[in-house]
Chain A
Amino acid sequence: MLYTLRRVLYTVPIALSVTVICFLLVHIAPGDPLQMMLPDNATPEAVAELKAKYGLDKPLPVQYLVWLGHVAHGDLGASISTGRSVADELSAAIGNTAIIATGGAMLGFLMGIGLGLVAGLRADTFVDRIATTVAIAAISVPHYWLAIVMTIIFAVELNWLPAIGIGPGGVSLSWEDLSHIVLPVLTLSLIPMGIIARTVRGKVVELMAMEFIQTLRAKGLRPVGILRHVVKNAAPSVMAVMGLQLGYLFGGSILVETVFNWPGVGFLMSNAILRRDMPMLQGAILMLALLFVVLNLIVDLLQTTIDPRIQRRG
């Protein structure tokens, strides 16, 4: 309990540090959010007036503290580019990303665990080599390229699946909505699949060589029983990797979401970066940082539940 509380409290300084770093990075980059809002012959007076309106004329620390003050009151502010509420835009985008991130993670983890087990249990055989090759290929292939190729095959040539966007009903069991998520989910599942497969394989090979497995074998335990022991022992480290992967997926893939025109966090953030839309960027990064921290916390707690030997001390 104390451990949980401590971990929850840690999220505050972590989130704060993230916001400071993000704030500085956004401001170090040349350009500002007003450039793309105004016509090319905007007068200097108009630019100055808008700068003052958005507080961009104030020193950086002041700008940061003003923003932080609003966040402390639960107000993420409004996008400088569009005037729309950051919270509204962000919640819609996170919801959309969650759809494909969850799908991608589930598919990726399932396939990764399967591949990893096959490779680990039959280490150094032909099957292992094939499984490992698939895993490495999944990590290495450029995803935007694969996304474009899959779009051309399944959407343009075969016309089985839609090329872009989210279904009219968002997420539902109707094929019209489901069909929209197939290609993004497949694309997103590849990296977690590859990484999980390699982690699982490594862990399984390591465990299979351990003495307690030898003992179990010697006692005549059936393969399924041995597998249960292997899985239980491999679970904590695999789960740690899964937590990180899930965090990455929830962060939204700028490339995948751009290719599929998926209105998620990646799409939103790439636009915010190009337009230097600071409130939007800062809001998004803060939310994602919190999400990452929470996911890691959940993974840590699950690990201790599964394997009580993991002692956590301050």
Chain B
Amino acid sequence: MIFTGRLISKLLPGLVLAILTLAMALATPHPAAAESVLRVAMTAGDIPITIGQADQGYEGFRFVSLSLYDCLVEWDLSSADKPSGIVPGLATSWEVDPEDKSRWIFHLRKGVKWHDGTEFNADDVVWNFERLWNKDAPQYNAQQHSDAASRFVDFKSVEKIDDYTVAINTTDGASLVPYNLGYIAMVSRTQYLKLNGGWPAYAKAPIGTGPYRFDKVVPGERMELVKNSDYWNKDRIPKHDRLVLYPMPEATTRASALLSGQINWIEAPPPDMVPKLKSAGFNVVTNAYPHMWAYELSFRDGSPWRDIRVRKAANLAIDRAGLKELLGGMMIESYGVVPKDNPWYGKPSFAIKYDPEAAKALMKEAGYGPGHPAKVTIAISPSGSGQMQPLPMNEFVQQNLATVGFEVNFAVKDWNTLIGAMRKGANDPSAVAENIEGINFSRTTQDPYSAICRFSMTSQITPKGSNWGGFSDPAIDKVCDQAMAEFDLAKQTELFAKAHAMMVDEAMMVWIAHDVNPRALSPKLKGFVQAKNWFQDLTPVVVEP
């Protein structure tokens, strides 16, 4: 018996050793690929949908929609220095009808080919708007409509004028239509009709006019796109052969994949691994982009935030420089919805800075102080798209606020639930029941409507718009109305800046941080310019062998 036991105990390590030896013997280097491949690890948990308006937030739109498709108007992603404006895309020019300010004329680009070689024209544009807005059209898709309708609130109808001209009618004089069109991807009518299998069939064989053609999707694992050598914009023909997109929600996994050489581009590396990535020769690129990490405040009856002194005190209590240090420098200090160098920032008279003494004085004036703190509950999430490092950041802010006379409690909700709370607003019975008087929900501020009007206008109070707390100021409403009806760009910018300055003077939120959108790139990648935008141009990236 003892003999048998010994035999097994001798055999077992041998077996393990044999397996390991075999594994190592087989460990030959991967063969070099003939084509140059850009491999991107996204933060998304799944492959974004491929039928035009991608899901998974702006990340889906960034990597899938804008790779396969084009919009009539596109973002200028060529500069890392200035906030990106809009430039012609599938439309070469546009103007508002001088007779009717609610009607826009778009002149379409001639000679643009879909990936199957057919020509792009006005019929495609009309068909696309019908797929997004006309419930009776056979190609109508409710999910796509919901996305598009949120990006282009004022759309009314579309009509073909000739093969290369369309008119877009809006519900009222809407000066921001060109911005709105930067979010509406044009998909192939011919392919949809040819496949005759509805959107599920189209999703498996999508055709666009974009810089990449669809190659394949491996469910749950990756999506492969190849260079469109016939792309109409010769400056943006990809400088690599293939683009592979991986959903990779776990940050440490993304970093390991990059370090091991399997991936050469990762979104949002974990902050604590940034020094290691840098020392290993990887390029960690960051830039300001239109993102806001703030506390949106409740203005319902009984909320301490109704007192402007309390709102100002909170803004003066935040040690933004300290928070930046906590994040290893990976943030921009926030003093408004947009950063100070943005043309929409304006000239507010309330100077937001770190001044706890002034904050304490304001709190005392408002009737709060030691032993009698202002109690507020803020809804936060432990993770989520654009939420940065929500737990340590919120704890930091909580301590800052405590020192000047706040008692901040957190209602921690998972990301999905927090989105629900955001949509319902501060006046919803669920928020009232939980006593929620603030929400920490990262926002895009990409265009002036998204940055200013939707947060501040009375007409945009949730659930209609994004004015979560029910803020209302007729003076701001008036300026926003004027701005949205102003077609002269310089004057429009001036009006938005005025509205924004008023928002800051009202301290309608507690502004804390703007993200810097870190991504880490293999040293073999050259030519990437990180635009100050949620979207990025991957086409100039050269993948060196």
Interface residues of A (CB under 8 A from B): 30-32, 35-47, 49-50, 53, 78, 81-85, 88-89, 92-93, 96, 110-111, 114-115, 117-118, 121-122, 127, 148, 151-152, 155-156, 159-166, 175-176, 178-179, 182, 208, 223-224, 226-227, 258-261, 263-264, 267-268, 270-271, 274-276
- Which of chain B's residues have a CB closer than 8 A to the CB of A268? 220
> Which residues of chain A are within 8 angstroms of B26 by Cβ–Cβ distance?
175, 178-179
Cβ of B303 within 8 Å of any chain A Cβ, yes or no, is no
Q: Which residues of the partner chain B approach A89 to less than 8 Å between Cβ atoms?
A: 219-220
**Contacting chain A: which of B91-99, B142-150, B325-333?**
B142-150
* List of A residues within 8 angstroms of B145 by Cβ: 46, 49
Partner of B45, one of A37, A92, A264, A271: A271
Residues of chain B within 8 A (CB-CB) of A37 are 55, 143, 146-147
**Residue of B146, B151, B249, B454 with highest tally of chain A CB at under 10 A:** B146
B233 proximal to A (CB < 8 A)? no
Given the known inter-chain contacts A93-B219, A127-B5, please indicate yes or no for A259 contacting B250, CB distance below 8 A: yes
Contact present for B416 and A176 (CB under 8 Å):
no
Known: A83-B143, A92-B220, A165-B221. A260 touches B253 (CB 8 A): yes
Which residue of chain A lies nearest to B53 when distances are taken between CB atoms in the complex? A39
Asked if B420 and A30 make an inter-chain contact with CB atoms under 8 angstroms apart, the answer reads yes
Q: Which residue in B12, B256, B415, B416 is a CB contact (below 8 Å) of A111?
A: B12
- Can you name 26 A-B pairs with beta carbons within 8 Å? A30-B416, A35-B419, A36-B55, A41-B465, A42-B150, A43-B150, A47-B423, A49-B146, A82-B47, A83-B49, A83-B200, A83-B203, A89-B219, A121-B8, A122-B9, A152-B256, A156-B260, A160-B24, A163-B253, A163-B259, A163-B260, A164-B257, A176-B30, A268-B220, A271-B46, A271-B247
Contact A164 B253, beta carbon cutoff 8 Å = yes
Whether B528 is near chain A, meaning CB under 8 Å from some CB there, is no
When C-beta atoms are compared, the residue in chain A nearest to B28 turns out to be A175
On B, residues with C-beta under 8 Å from A are 1-5, 8-9, 11-12, 15-16, 23-24, 26-28, 30, 45-47, 49, 51, 55, 57, 142-143, 145-147, 149-151, 153, 199-200, 203, 218-222, 246-250, 252-253, 256-257, 259-263, 413-417, 419-420, 422-423, 441, 443-444, 450, 454, 463-466
B1 touches A223 (CB 8 A): yes
Q: How far is the CA of A86 from the CA of B341 in the complex (A)?
A: 47
Complex Cα distance, B5 from A50, in Å, reads 65
CB nearest neighbor in B for A31: B416
B354 CB to nearest A CB, Å: 29
Q: What 6 pairs between A and B have smallest CB-CB spacing?
A: A263-B220, A31-B416, A271-B45, A46-B146, A121-B5, A263-B221
The residue among B30, B49, B253 with the most chain A CB atoms within 10 A of its own CB is: B253
Report yes or no: B250 in contact with A258, Cβ–Cβ below 8 A. yes
* B200 and A84 contact, CB distance less than 8 A: yes
Question: Which of A32, A162, A165, A176: most chain B Cβ within 10 A?
Answer: A165
Residue A115 contacts which of B12, B413, B416, B420 (CB distance < 8 angstroms)? B12
Is A121's CB under 8 angstroms from B1's CB?
yes
**What residues on A are CB-neighbors of B220 within 8 Å?**
89, 92-93, 96, 263-264, 267-268
User: Which of B30, B199, B250, B466 gathers the greatest number of chain A CB atoms within 10 Å?
Assistant: B250
Q: Which residues of B contact A44 (CB under 8 A)?
A: 463-464
Contact of B422 among A40, A259, A276 (CB under 8 A): A40
Q: Please tell me if the beta carbons of A31 and B262 are within 8 angstroms of each other in the complex.
A: no
Whether the Cβ atoms of A274 and B45 lie closer than 8 Å is yes
Known: A118-B12, A164-B248. A30 touches B5 (CB 8 A): no
| Complex contact A223–B3 (CB within 8 A) | yes
Q: Do B260 and A84 have beta carbons less than 8 Å apart?
A: no
Residues of A within 8 A of B466 (CB): 40-41
- A156-B15 Cα distance, complex, nearest whole Å: 26
Given A89-B220, A263-B221, residue A49 in contact with residue B420 (CB < 8 A): no
Residues of chain A with a CB closer than 8 A to B463's CB: 43-44, 47
Q: Looking at the assembled complex, report how far the CB atom of A126 sits from the nearest CB atom of chain B, in whole angstroms.
A: 11
B15 neighbours in A (Cβ, 8 Å): 110, 114
- Give chain A nearest CB distance to B81 CB in angstroms: 28
- For the complex, what is the distance from the CA of A145 to the CA of B63, rounded to whole Å? 31
**C-alpha gap A78/B247 in the complex (Å):** 20
Q: Given A38-B146, A49-B142, A83-B143, does the pair A156, B259 have CB atoms closer than 8 Å? A: yes
Choose among B57, B150, B151, B246 the residue with the greatest number of A CB atoms under 10 Å from its CB: B150
Q: Which residue of B lies closest to A89 (CB)?
A: B219
A260 to B249 CA separation, bound complex (whole angstroms): 11
Determine if A41 and B248 form an interchain contact, defined as CB atoms under 8 angstroms apart.
Answer: no
